[in-house]
Chains A and B, each alone.
Chain A
Amino acid sequence: MRADRALRILGLAALAGMVATVWLGLFVTPNAVGYPDGTVRLLYIHPPLAWVMFIAYGMATLSSLLYLWPRTRHVRFDRLAGASAEVGVVFTGLTLVSGSIWGRPTWGVWWTWDPLLTTTALLFVLYLGYLALRNVPGEPETVARRAAIAGLVAFLDVPIVFFAVSWWRSLHQGPTIDLATRHSYVHGSMAWTLLLGFVSFTLTYVWLMAHRYRLAALRDRENDEGLGAAIADRWAEAVR
């Protein structure tokens, strides 16, 4: 099937990109001034992970909206939302881990209440709750609609959380994972590796989401067929 082949090519491209990122990131690129202990190498994975987290949740919210809108209501958007959210949670967890690891050699702590990192931690818990809600049994349309609304409510909270935490932090200057100002020092092989990181992680996200979506579709079909077969059995018993 064409979709299968496209997916396979995408997967291979993503894999190649990831391997290249690791190789360049860990071995080829030099250490940088101002980043102790080689922490610059986390620059190639931490921001891309955070970026993918945001597009994953954005995708989930967009799909939830499309599902709720009567004209575009279709189960595919519900599946898309669920798949994207689950992949998003994986990337969120990894964003937290990489952020935490950044802090250790840099400031000697495993956690800083950095605005972005704290917001990420809250997002992690928020969307874990969303996934828990999706797993609650019920009529498919009910579950889908409930999840879509919950997803929207959660997403609306994100900017509020971010601003609140930023104000909260601005009262106390503390260690910050400050990437914005340092980008001006990123050039040469480092810049290319960073770009490669963003691209590879995005490709990986798409591949993971596509497969998660398929899994959801297969499970839905299984449930439907199982139900159909069970009903057929009951009919057969009644006839006998």
Chain B
Amino acid sequence: MLRDALLVCGKDLRIELRSKVGLNQVAPFAAAVLLLFGLALGPTTAALKPAAAGLFWVAVLLSVVLAVQRSFAIESADSARDGLRLSGLDPAGIFLGKGAAIVSQLLVLEALLAAGVALLFGARLDGALVLLAACVTASVGLGAVGVIYGALSSGARVKETLLPLLLLPVAAPVLLGATKAWNDALSGRPGQADVWLSLLAVFAVLYVAVGTVAFGPLLEDA
């Protein structure tokens, strides 16, 4: 299973490196979201700075939708999905592989967004350890539910509108936990973030487990 996961992850990442859709489209989208927030709440950082954590994570959440859509769009070209099924790869491995690819891209995106938030909203990135921990656990959780819902909606003609509708409500706890953790870190109370980090961890573990188990039946029909 792990070998298959590495295979799929490597494939997805190589496709990304070659096509650079993440770099050319998802990252600029995230930057645009930050700018729009700035326009909506600026021009002073009076409203932006305290809200920096929340705005950061909303931008991440919106970008995850794009990343997941992209992850599954590459499968629908040239009946790649059938090829994937017939290849005999372990479905759990496919889940973990695609998830890992999305998580890697997310982490890079979050680094860029963090810089953007520091620059545009005047946020000081204190408590870096907590910030990082929140990013990792949140990204794993988001990647897991993203792949699950991406697979669920990939067969539909209305998938562009279906995926955000399905994914964003389920991701609400991640938004809550990550924002609170970041808030605690940014305002100099990193110790208080434990509760939120555990929430993020529980979410991540739960949905990685669910995806690993449920991906087999999911792939059968897509």
Whether the complex brings A and B within 8 Å at their CB atoms is answered yes
Interface assignment of B83: CB less than 8 Å from any CB of chain A = no
If A128-B165, A129-B166 touch, does A164 touch B155 (CB 8 Å cutoff)?
no
Cross-chain contact A153 with B162 (CB below 8 angstroms):
no
Q: Closest A-chain residue to B183, C-beta based? A: A171
C-beta contact mask, B42-76 vs A, less than 8 Å → 1, else 0? 00000000000000000000000000000000000
Interface assignment of B7: CB less than 8 Å from any CB of chain A = no
Cα–Cα, bound, A168→B214 (Å): 31
Q: Closest B-chain residue to A165, C-beta based? A: B176
Tally A-B pairs: CB < 8 A: 90
Contacts of A138 in B (CB 8 A): 155-156, 221
Contacts of B170 in A (CB 8 A): 126, 153-154, 157
Interface assignment of A7: CB less than 8 Å from any CB of chain B = no
Stretch at the interface among A26-34, A43-51, A142-150, A177-185: A142-150
C-beta contact mask, B178-220 vs A, less than 8 Å → 1, else 0? 0010000000000000011001001100110010001001101
Interface assignment of A139: CB less than 8 Å from any CB of chain B = yes
Cross-chain contact B165 with A160 (CB below 8 angstroms):
no
If A139-B221, A149-B217 touch, does A132 touch B176 (CB 8 Å cutoff)?
no
Q: Per DSSP, are chain B's interface residues mostly helix, strand or loop, or mixed?
A: helix
Cross-chain contact A164 with B210 (CB below 8 angstroms):
no
Cα–Cα, bound, A63→B155 (Å): 23
Cross-chain contact A153 with B203 (CB below 8 angstroms):
no
Interface assignment of A163: CB less than 8 Å from any CB of chain B = yes
If A126-B170, A149-B217 touch, does A167 touch B148 (CB 8 Å cutoff)?
no
Interface assignment of B139: CB less than 8 Å from any CB of chain A = no
Interface assignment of B112: CB less than 8 Å from any CB of chain A = no
Contacts of A130 in B (CB 8 A): 166
Cross-chain contact B202 with A122 (CB below 8 angstroms):
no
Cross-chain contact B165 with A132 (CB below 8 angstroms):
yes
Cα–Cα, bound, A139→B145 (Å): 24
Cα–Cα, bound, A149→B203 (Å): 17
Contacts of A150 in B (CB 8 A): 149, 152, 166
Question: What are 10 sample pairs from A and B whose C-beta atoms fall under 8 A apart?
Answer: A122-B172, A128-B165, A130-B166, A142-B155, A142-B221, A149-B217, A152-B214, A157-B169, A160-B203, A161-B172
